[in-house]
Amino acid sequence: SAVISQKPSRDICQRGTSLTIQCQVDSQVTMMFWYRQQPGQSLTLIATANQGSEATYESGFVIDKFPISRPNLTFSTLTVSNMSPEDSSIYLCSVRTVSTDTQYFGPGTRLTVL
Amino acid sequence: EDKVVQSPLSLVVHEGDTVTLNCSYEVTNFRSLLWYKQEKKAPTFLFMLTSSGIEKKSGRLSSILDKKELFSILNITATQTGDSAVYLCAVSGGSNYKLTFGKGTLLTVNP
């Protein structure tokens, strides 16, 4: 399995500001994903982070709100822009390893927007 | 649209009991079904199932997939308080490997 780190682990932000979350993997992986888990809900895929090109967003998520970068095979960032209280969630990075179809998750970022 | 339904949504048992968690799915171009345990923030990988009828086992946990009836079960025997968590079922379909999750089963094991 891959070792995944995310930072920050948690943050409390003011409405209208932006937060960038970083995801780092200890080995090269084929795919990286960003998920959101709103309070009391299950996980929903935001987008697939593509190396060196624009991310692929799921229905209901747009680049202006959730810009994503993936400059290399082991690192990605997700920015939550112009935040509102509805953006309060856990944001999770996941990776698909080269050798298996399994997806592993990072430790998550708990975001609270006031 | 891919769909995953888990049951029950919550379950309270006593230590030592055996529990069975259910997951049914509808997915285009099924690739795999995965089970995760979520205690705080991060889902922890338990099993990945791709073939029908082959049981995967890890300690007191086991899981099996039925691709004809489109469901999977996760069994936990001799439950312990440390098994208390949300158990998530997810399916992977199509060429983009994205996961569609069920709502999860909240398991509470009382001493």
pLDDT tens digits for B60-72?
Answer: 999 999 999 999 9
Give the pLDDT confidence score for residue A52 in this predicted structure: 84
Question: A45, B99: Cβ pair inside 8 Å?
Answer: yes
pLDDT tens for A50-88 read 888 889 999 999 999 999 999 998 999 999 999 999 999
Question: B32, A101: Cβ pair inside 8 Å?
Answer: yes
Residue A96 has its nearest CB partner, among B43, B88, B97, at B97
The answer to whether A110 contacts chain B (CB < 8 Å) is yes
- Work out the minimum CA distance from B49 to partner chain A, whole angstroms: 10
In chain A, the percentage of residues whose pLDDT exceeds 90 is 75
The answer to whether A50 contacts chain B (CB < 8 Å) is no
> If you measure CA to CA, which chain A residue comes closest to B6?
A42
E strand intervals along A1-114:
4-7, 10-13, 19-25, 29-37, 43-49, 56-57, 68-72, 75-80, 89-97, 103-105, 109-113
- Work out the minimum CA distance from B16 to partner chain A, whole angstroms: 28
The answer to whether B45 contacts chain A (CB < 8 Å) is yes
Per the CB < 8 A criterion, the answer to whether B104 and B7 are in contact is no
Say whether pLDDT at A98 is over 90. no
Compute the mean pLDDT over every residue in chain A, rounded to the nearest whole number.
93
Distance CA A35, CA A46 (A): 5
Which amino acid belongs to residue A36?
Answer: R
Give the pLDDT confidence score for residue A40 in this predicted structure: 87
pLDDT tens for B46-102 read 999 998 888 999 999 999 999 999 999 999 999 999 999 999 999 998 777 889 999
Measured distance between the N- and C-terminal CA atoms of chain B, rounded to whole angstroms: 41
The answer to whether B97 contacts chain A (CB < 8 Å) is yes
Per the CB < 8 A criterion, the answer to whether A19 and A4 are in contact is no
Distances (CA, A) of A43 to B42, B55, B109: 11, 26, 23
Distance CA B70, CA A34 (A): 27
Partners of A8 on chain B (C-beta within 8 Å) are none
- Which tops the pLDDT comparison, B40 or A5? A5
Distance CA B17, CA A32 (A): 38
